[in-house]
Amino acid sequence: MPEMMPLGAADVLLIAGTSLLCTAVVSALGLLVLRGMRRSTLLVQLLVLASVAAVSLTLSVLAISLEMYISPHDLSVLVWVIGISLLFSLGAAWILARLMRGRMSRLAAAVRRVGEGDVVAPGPQGLREFDELSTELADVSTRLHAAREELEQLDSARRRFFAWISHDLRTPLTAVRALSEAIEDGASSHPERYAGDVRAQVETMSRMVDDLFELSKLTSGTVQLRTEQVELLDIVSDAVADVRAAADGHGVRIVQRGVEGHVLWADPHQLGRIIVNLLTNAIRHAPAGSEVLVTAAEVDDGRLVLGILDHGSGVAVEDLDRMFEVGWREDPARSAGADDPVASGAGLGLAIARGLARAHGGDVYAERTDDGFRMNVLMPTDAIPVVE
């Protein structure tokens, strides 16, 4: 075997310069081709990229071989070797490009399904990057599906709420209109007697407007709490006094047990509103002649649970959380009557109660028990930072 001569610095520079020139020329031509084929398929563009690499290598080898003055026979052999290798390389590149296009097509089909609202499952794509993309797409489809369902539920609740609030506002408005028409027509020789009825209907509408305003502050996070140390017994007693007329009208008796002796940090006005709303709900659904039991007990971690138990049938287990949604009613046809001096009838009381409790760092939840249906107010007994 003949001894190989080491390459000098000039030879290395010549090889590098020739390769750089060939690669630059072919790459420039390849970029022009790709620019002119911007709307072509991925398969064609991958083939162009593979051809640029193969042709650059081929021209570099041929140019360097000619510069080295190899024999015509050796040059012929080299040309055949390079040509056949180039052909096979382009064929292999075409096969790989088709495989790549197939994977991209599957991902594109998955993206279209996600756009149509379907949930897609991740699948092996053969490449780590494509597998990660498929997994991420599946996760996005799951989150989008959940968000779409939540949006549909919120939109449905919004439509129901506006339908119900319109119905409940129409009831006192109709009564006021009828009373005013009766006065105008002289249907009564003592029209001043209608003043009390008109005032009651106006108060009903005023409570509904107040509830809407309170709910808007809760949902926007602008509710302001003025917390202080309060006696739970005082707050409960005031709330019971507020709903006494409604309880008497429904033939329901309110009983307190274990409420005394508990002190907690809360906004007394807002805590009273929570209790009034829950008592109102209990009174409206308790059987006539039954009792509504108010209890209190301290639990772990400095928290207190105020329970309001009625002996009504309550709601289904699957509706225990939904009943706190704005405007929710178990019976859509049911609304507050004009003789209810506390309930607004707009389906806002429970939503407001939970929102105010959570603003305090607590919560409101419902449960079915052997004794009846109970609403629980979970409140912290220690002072907590309140964001205003």
Residue pLDDT, tens place only, 201-245: 888 788 777 777 777 777 777 778 888 899 999 999 999 999 998
In this prediction, residue 344 has a pLDDT band, given cuts at 50, 70 and 90, of very low
Query: Residue 97's domain spans which residues?
Result: 9-115
- Domain check: are 186 and 309 in the same one? yes
Taking 90 as the threshold, does the pLDDT of residue 8 lie above it?
no
- Does residue 79 lie within any of the structural domains? yes
Domain stop point among 88, 115, 142: 115
- Domain check: are 167 and 109 in the same one? no
- Domain check: are 165 and 106 in the same one? no
266-322 pLDDT, tens digit per residue, is 999 989 999 999 999 899 889 999 999 999 998 877 889 999 999 988 787 877 887
- Domain check: are 170 and 299 in the same one? yes
- Average pLDDT over the chain reads 77
Paired tokens of 180:
């005013």
228 contact partners, CB below 8 Å, separation of at least 6:
265, 266, 267, 268
- Does residue 126 lie within any of the structural domains? no
- Does residue 241 lie within any of the structural domains? yes
- Domain check: are 248 and 357 in the same one? yes
- Domain check: are 94 and 173 in the same one? no
- Domain check: are 54 and 196 in the same one? no
- Does residue 217 lie within any of the structural domains? yes
In this prediction, residue 339 has a pLDDT band, given cuts at 50, 70 and 90, of very low
Taking 80 as the threshold, does the pLDDT of residue 72 lie above it?
no
- Domain check: are 158 and 108 in the same one? no
The pLDDT assigned to 23 comes to 78
- Does residue 129 lie within any of the structural domains? no
Domain stop point among 93, 115, 137: 115
Mean pLDDT, residues 376-381 taken together? 90
Structural domains of the chain, count? 2
- Domain check: are 172 and 49 in the same one? no
- Does residue 143 lie within any of the structural domains? no
Domain stop point among 115, 137, 168: 115
Q: What is the CATH number of the domain that holds 345?
A: 3.30.565.10
- When mean pLDDT is compared across 5-9, 286-290, 321-325, 336-340, the lowest value belongs to 336-340
In this prediction, residue 335 has a pLDDT band, given cuts at 50, 70 and 90, of very low
